[in-house]
Structure 1
Amino acid sequence: MRSTIRVSLVEDELMFRRMLEQLLHGRPGLSLAHSVGGAQEAALVITPGSTDVVVVDVALEDGDGVALAARLQRSDPDLGVLLLSAQDSLSAFMLAQDAAPKPWSYLSKRSSFAITTLVRAITAADRGEQVIDPYLVGRSAARSDSQVSRLTPAQFRVLSLVAQGLTNEAIAEELGVVVRSVENHLLVIYRVLGLVVDGRNRRVLATLAFLRQTSRVAGR
């Protein structure tokens, strides 16, 4: 792990960008490489090898923050990406996943005010790991867990095995079915739970919904 993570900020809201600068200033293990107000300036100053993690607002006045992040990461595959959004939902993150060459982290601007949350997300992005705003994940899971009771017994069994950490292949072996059958079950489960994010995150959110629902039943 590198001793200092070089961070570049791309945020068009000046007051918010200044706040982020103050949060990061003097923070052990972090240094501010660039702080710019738009996509065009970012494309000029953030060159391959000049920064380790770019923190980008998804909605910039002069361009698409998601498209900018994708371009920067394609030109510098080691670059970590942390997306920020003013929306208190995962919708922007869901749309961003198709553009991401590798896992990106995502925080609402509300959560980025917490320095520990911000630093954890930056550190994860530098490692190539993914942090999704726990507040937003909790809200999504809360909406989903009430739908768990609508699953058929077979679907509930598949979800319980997912919650145990089994892969699709292991679930197929456990149930004595082909992997394709498990995949089809999961697609229906995700639809019932209202989960429309990418496969990896749907699996996490479905597990959270299952655990929340079963813990409530057990506590009755």
Structure 2
Amino acid sequence: MRIVIAEDAALMRAGLTALLDALGHRVLHAAKDAEDLNRAVDSHADDPPEVIITDVRMPPTHTDEGLVAALALRERYPAIAILVLSQYLGGEYASRLLATAESQPGGVGYLLKDRVGHLTELDRAIHTVAGGGVVVDPKVIDDLLGRRHHPLAQLTGREQDVMSLMAQGRTNEQIGEELHLSIGSVEKHIRNVFDKLSITPTDGNRRVLATLRWLSFHHRPN
């Protein structure tokens, strides 16, 4: 398969390239960020790669740049398959990726990075998505099924990022700096979080209540 990789960690990028070479695939380019990924695929516009393998979180904000770039490229090159390799269960990210499966001919997959060491599984996943199929890590499936009805599952990716930093005790100003958002945008996301969690001004310290729910959700036993 002709493949373009997007991974910001140099060691992971080199290791994945070596693994794919060993499996007989041709790595056209190993991108270090989303912009590099876009340039690499567009440079092969006349003969696009069959598969993009990307991480979700990449520079500069380390939120969802890799996924956003891959989905945008998929709009321009619908036949390209996308295989996400992430260290995060990322139910919301996986849902966004899977939502494109019905409308685009290229297959999609979402695997956790610990699968990279299982060469047979990785190779099978690459061939499956290249053939138009769908591959989802079993742990991600469990996460989606177990959490989809929880109020926190309603949060968008950006709202989850804001909530995560709020749970770490960050101020609105610090959250804005970390995520490159204006104070107004941070306040809007926080209001949305409170609304989705049904936490009203009369409930007391809303930040504390939201944090307690966030921590109990993300640290509950499997």
TM range (shorter): 0.5 to 0.7
Q: Is 1:58 aligned with 2:56?
A: yes
Q: Deviations over 1:175-206 (max 9, x none)?
A: xxxxxxxxxxxxxxx749x998xxxxxxxxxx
Task: State the secondary structure of the residue aligned to 2:22.
Answer: coil
Task: State the secondary structure of the residue aligned to 2:13.
Answer: helix
Distance 1:139 1:98, change over 3 A: closer
Alignment match, 1:11: 7
Task: Output the TM-score relative to the length of structure 1.
Answer: 0.57
Alignment match, 1:38: 33
Query: Alpha-carbon deviation of 1:57?
Result: 0.7
Q: 2:94, 2:88 → 1: CA distance? A: 10
Q: 1:97, 1:83 → 2: CA distance? A: 11
Alignment match, 1:83: 84
Query: Alpha-carbon deviation of 1:139?
Result: 5.4
The answer on whether the counterparts of 1:85 and 1:92 sit within 8 Å (CA) in structure 2 is no
The answer on whether the counterparts of 1:33 and 1:50 sit within 8 Å (CA) in structure 2 is no
The answer on whether the counterparts of 2:6 and 2:32 sit within 8 Å (CA) in structure 1 is yes
Larger radius of gyration: 1
Identity of aligned residues (%): 22
Task: Output the TM-score relative to the length of structure 2.
Answer: 0.57
**What is the 5 A alignment of 1:92-171?**
92-98=93-99, 101-102=103-104, 103-138=107-142, 143=146
Query: Alpha-carbon deviation of 1:22?
Result: 1.6
The answer on whether the counterparts of 1:66 and 1:99 sit within 8 Å (CA) in structure 2 is no
Distance 1:195 1:128, change over 3 A: farther
Q: 1:35, 1:69 → 2: CA distance? A: 14
Q: 1:117, 1:38 → 2: CA distance? A: 25
Query: Alpha-carbon deviation of 1:111?
Result: 1.7
Q: 1:140, 1:191 → 2: CA distance? A: 9
RMSD: 2.7
Query: Alpha-carbon deviation of 1:114?
Result: 1.4
Query: Alpha-carbon deviation of 1:59?
Result: 0.7
Query: Alpha-carbon deviation of 1:99?
Result: 6.1
Q: Deviations over 1:125-181 (max 9, x none)?
A: 11111000123324555x48xxxxxxxxxxxxxxxxxxxxxxxxxxxxxxxxxxxxx
Q: Which runs of 5+ in 1 are unaligned?
A: 145-189, 197-220
Letter of the 1:24 counterpart:
L
Alignment match, 1:155: none
Q: 2:71, 2:144 → 1: CA distance? A: 25
Task: State the secondary structure of the residue aligned to 2:85.
Answer: strand
